[in-house]
Amino acid sequence: MNPQQIQLVQSSFARLAPVQEELAALFYARLFELDPGLRAMFTGDLAAQRTKLMAALRAVVAGLARPDAIKPALWELGRRHARYGVEVEHYVTVGEALFWSLEQALGDTFTLDTRRAWAAAFSLVAWTMIAAAEAELAEPDAEAA
């Protein structure tokens, strides 16, 4: 990501601070609308899951200027998601739900440039997590050895 993209993601995310709970609720509602089968993966408290989502987004957005610093956390998150049954195609659905939610929350300020910046950030996150998931599935007991 270039510095302008990082700034666009960070400034648009800052505008979301007052509506983070609503953003997370929009995200999960849209996610389950797009793929109702995903609801079964969330057996715990969905309010707690919304809080985790926003914490993860905050960490990613804050670390965009230093992607190597956030990749280990994303790697572990990808490995855990593989254990939960998340598949590659689910990342597409997550991206659709995220972009729809951002558009709802940001309105006219979710410009094409801002959307592209978020797409770059999401690509970093998704591809890192997918690589980790593939490693987990290839060698699920590697850490236990």
Dist CA 65 CA 81 (whole Å): 25
Segment 118-125 shows an average pLDDT of 97
Delineate the domains of the chain, giving CATH numbers in brackets.
3-138 (1.10.490.10)
- Residue 80 has which token pair? 């855990």
Q: What is the DSSP string of 77-127?
A: HHHHHHHHT--HHHHHHHHHHHHHHHHHHHGGGS-HHHHHHHHHHHHHHHH
Which pLDDT band, with edges at 50, 70 and 90, does 136 fall under?
confident
Flag whether pLDDT at 140 surpasses 90. no
Q: CB-based contacts of 131: which residues, under 8 Å, 6+ apart?
A: 75, 78
Dist CA 54 CA 66 (whole Å): 19
* Per-residue pLDDT, 145: 43
Flag whether pLDDT at 138 surpasses 90. no
- Residue 131 has which token pair? 């690589």
Which pLDDT band, with edges at 50, 70 and 90, does 144 fall under?
very low
Which pLDDT band, with edges at 50, 70 and 90, does 141 fall under?
low
Question: pLDDT tens, 15-72?
Answer: 999 999 999 999 999 999 999 999 999 888 899 999 999 999 999 999 999 999 999 9
Residue pointed to by tokens 């972009």: 99
Percent of the chain predicted with pLDDT > 90: 88
- pTM higher than the cut 0.75: yes
Query: In whole numbers, what is the pLDDT of the chain averaged over residues?
Result: 93
